[in-house]
Amino acid sequence: MATAKRWREFEEDGITHSVAHHLAAIHDLRDRHGYARVSDVARYLGITRGSASLTLKALREKGYVQEDQNKFLSLSDTGHRIVHTVLARREIVRSFLKDVLRIEAQQADADACKVEHLLSVEAGENLCRFVEFLQSDAPVARRFLEEYWRSKDAR
């Protein structure tokens, strides 16, 4: 189970909410525009350039971020692995909130971002398995969700 493995790796790295957001910002900016600079990351995150610069300096020292001679930022292999782990964790929580609990998509996204950093490895792995089961084609999973929501809607 790839998602559960990523969940465990994320916790072992000790990545904070702020670090995850900085790395994800670089990832997203490079995908959208082909480049990322400190000022771009600051603007993306809605923080000061100085604050972004301090965090990015620490991330370069840890080997998660690289900066070329033109001041363009990129993620190292480790940085990429962390970003993909963060995105996987966020997606499983978002999926649970939106698809299982029927939370509106925008709220599910916001809540998933908050919750992904708070769950233990065990809770995360079990949530992954539970969501995968509920989203499978197994008749028992479909029946479970249908009966659950029918009982809720009847109240």
* Token pair in block for residue 74: 């990129």
Q: How far apart are CA 75 and CA 60, in angstroms?
A: 9
Answer whether residue 109 shows pLDDT above 90.
yes
Q: Give the CA radius of gyration of the chain.
A: 18
Q: What is the pLDDT of residues 37-60, one digit of tens each?
A: 999 999 999 999 999 999 999 999
Q: Say what the pLDDT of residue 17 is.
A: 85
Asked if 108 contacts 42 with a C-beta cutoff of 8 angstroms, the reply is: no
DSSP conformational letter for 64: S
CATH number at residue 1: 1.10.10.10
Which distant-in-sequence residues (6+ apart) come within 8 Å of 47 by Cβ?
none
CA distances from 26 to 10, 47, 54, 107, 120 (A): 18, 14, 15, 24, 26
Q: Which amino acid is at 153?
A: D
- Tell me the H-state helices in 14-120: 17-33, 38-45, 49-62, 77-95, 105-115
Considering its fold, how many domains does the chain have in total? 1
Which of 42-51, 54-63, 94-103, 142-151 bottoms out in mean pLDDT, i.e. has the lowest? Answer: 142-151
Answer whether residue 1 shows pLDDT above 50.
no
Q: What is the pTM of this model?
A: 0.74
In degrees, rounded to 5, the angle at the alpha carbon of residue 66 between the alpha carbons of residues 63 and 70 is: 160
Parent domain of 102: 1-155
Q: Among 140, 141, 123, which Cα is nearest to 132's? A: 141
Answer whether residue 9 shows pLDDT above 60.
no
